[in-house]
């Protein structure tokens, strides 16, 4: 089975569950390998009160024994502490009297479309699953993917380069993404970080919320992941779909992305040169992907997140129980969730890259994958030689 995952659980239900299939046998995997990213997801300036309640940690339910994966699906449980406050409303068991239904859909949320699609009369049946709480399980799955990729020297980082009107240069953000964890808003520049925090404070004071933009950078990937042969195998398309699936993401780009539309070809393509007998690039404007495949440069994926839909300044809506104009309902919510979205973006990128990596090098056990990877690197190094007989290999370039 191909590497991938599925999730289960509702925002205020008992737990979130991640089931990761296609994990090779023999991968060293501890709970701490996953919990670190769960903690990072909970951080960020502008997060709401829910993060003060939860302490996200996984429990392995299957697929791991004595610290190593078994080749069977890895199942992980993340308990929702807040369930204790919602058990009467969210219990899976039948109840004598149902709680009052929620009938005030929020603009920009799954509420109204989901209610129509599934013939519900209570929006809670929609909002509990469509909540961004589900991304907790995604980050758990991404932790497994990240650990697998790290076995082969692949590192994934992210940085926020815009929140509201406060912005940092995207190229610099991608280059310095390793330092983003030091910032409450995941921006590598301290001065811009403070401006972003001020933007969030102003939005919170106005009982509103802010979106923004972030970039994910994956370094250490070999060339040739993905394929140009079939549209379903193109890696940039797969990455775009995965990142776009994150709650509130409305735009995804690779490398310069939409910036290529205003430039000439000579200002877009990454020229191929020889440096000390090695093939290198003069830039990484295309974000490490050409023809749907990795080219050996860092993979750079950017995303734009809209402001969340649940805000104190309740927006206009229609009460579905009466048909009368009203205001959308409110629950605990973030003023800005862009820093958390960047960590979720890392996880989704890791999952897609892990899937492509195992497609290329096999998926049964770590020992055989290491052997296949080493043989591939040796082959392309041997095959690409300069006339002088020097080995030619890709050398890491800049993030953009």
Got the DSSP string for 42-102?
A: H--TT--THHHH----EEEEESEETTEEESSPEEEEEE-TTHHHHHHHH-SS--SSPPPPP
Is residue 262 included in any domain, yes or no? yes
Residue 172: CA atoms inside 13 Å, Cβ hemisphere, count? 10
Strand partners, 158: 216
Determine the distance from the C-alpha atom of residue 251 to the mean position of all C-alpha atoms in its chain, rounded to a whole number.
13
Q: Which residues of 204-218 are buried (b: 16+ CB within 10 A; e: fewer)?
A: beeeebbbbbbbbbb
Residue 392 lies in a domain: no
Note the pLDDT of residue 272. Answer: 94
Cβ pair 106, 315 in contact under 8 A: yes
For 306, the domain range is 4-383
Q: Determine contact, residues 351/245, Cβ cutoff 8 Å.
A: no
Q: Which pLDDT belongs to residue 390?
A: 55
Q: Is residue 396 part of a domain?
A: no
- Is 322 among the domain residues? yes
pLDDT at 312: 84
Name 274's bridge partners. 279
| Total domains present in the chain | 1
Q: Is residue 17 situated within a structural domain?
A: yes
Q: What's 306's DSSP letter?
A: P
Q: Which residue has the tokens 């990455």?
A: 239
**What is the domain-level CATH number for residue 187?**
3.60.150.10
pLDDT of 46 reads: 75
In this prediction, residues 358-381 reach a mean pLDDT of 96
In a domain, 355, yes or no: yes
Residue 92 lies in a domain: yes
* Average pLDDT, integer, range 85-105: 93
CA 237, CA 242: separation in Å to the nearest integer? Answer: 9
Q: Provide DSSP, 21-44.
A: ESPPEEEE--HHHHHHHHHHHH--
Q: What is the pLDDT of residues 225-260, one digit of tens each?
A: 999 999 999 999 999 999 999 999 999 999 999 999
Spell out the alpha helix ranges (H) of 190-250. 190-205, 235-244
Mean pLDDT over residues 6-26, rounded? 97
Where residue 49 falls among pLDDT bands split at 50, 70, 90? low
Residues in the chain: 400
For residue 389, being part of any structural domain is answered with: no
User: What percentage of residues in the chain have a pLDDT greater than 90?
Assistant: 85
In sequence order, what are the residues at sequence separation of 6 or more whose Cβ sits closer than 8 angstroms to the Cβ of residue 31? 57, 58, 59, 60
For residues 339-359, give the mean pLDDT.
98
């Amino acid at each position: 089975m191909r590497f991938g995952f599925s999730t289960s659980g509702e925002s205020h239900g008992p737990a979130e569950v991640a089931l990761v299939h296609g994990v090779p046998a023999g991968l060293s995997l501890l709970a701490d390998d996953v919990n670190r990213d769960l903690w990072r997801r909970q951080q960020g300036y502008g997060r709401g009160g829910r993060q003060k309640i939860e302490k996200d940690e996984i429990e392995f339910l299957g697929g791991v024994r004595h610290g190593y994966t078994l080749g069977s699906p890895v199942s992980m449980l993340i308990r929702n502490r807040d369930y204790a406050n919602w058990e009467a409303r969210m219990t899976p068991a039948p109840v004598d009297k149902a709680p009052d239904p929620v009938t005030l859909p929020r603009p920009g949320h799954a509420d109204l479309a989901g209610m129509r699609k599934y013939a519900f009369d209570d929006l809670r049946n929609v909002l509990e699953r469509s909540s961004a709480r589900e991304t907790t399980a995604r980050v758990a799955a991404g932790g497994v993917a990240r650990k697998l990729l790290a076995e082969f020297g692949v590192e994934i980082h992210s940085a926020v380069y815009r929140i509201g009107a406060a912005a940092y240069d995207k190229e610099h953000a991608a280059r310095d993404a390793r330092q983003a964890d030091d910032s409450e808003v995941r921006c590598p520049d301290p001065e811009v970080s403070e401006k972003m925090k001020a933007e969030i404070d102003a939005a919170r004071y106005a009982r509103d919320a802010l979106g923004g933009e972030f970039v994910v950078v994956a370094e250490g990937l070999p060339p040739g992941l993905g394929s140009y042969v079939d549209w379903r195998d193109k890696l940039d398309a797969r990455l775009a779909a995965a990142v776009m699936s994150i709650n509130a993401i409305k735009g995804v780009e690779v490398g310069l992305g939409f910036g290529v539309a205003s430039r000439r070809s000579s200002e877009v393509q990454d020229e191929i040169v020889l440096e000390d007998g090695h093939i290198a690039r003069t830039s990484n404007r295309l974000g490490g992907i050409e023809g749907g495949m990795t080219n050996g440069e860092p993979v750079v994926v950017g995303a734009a997140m809209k402001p969340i839909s649940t805000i104190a300044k309740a927006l206009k809506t229609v009460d579905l129980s009466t048909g009368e104009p009203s205001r959308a309902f409110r629950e605990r919510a973030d003023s800005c969730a862009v820093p958390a979205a960047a960590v979720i973006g890392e996880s989704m990128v890791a999952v897609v890259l892990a899937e492509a990596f195992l497609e290329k090098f096999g998926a049964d056990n770590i020992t055989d994958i290491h052997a296949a990877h080493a043989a591939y690197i040796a082959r392309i190094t041997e095959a690409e030689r300069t006339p002088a007989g020097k080995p030619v290999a890709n050398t890491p370039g800049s993030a953009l």
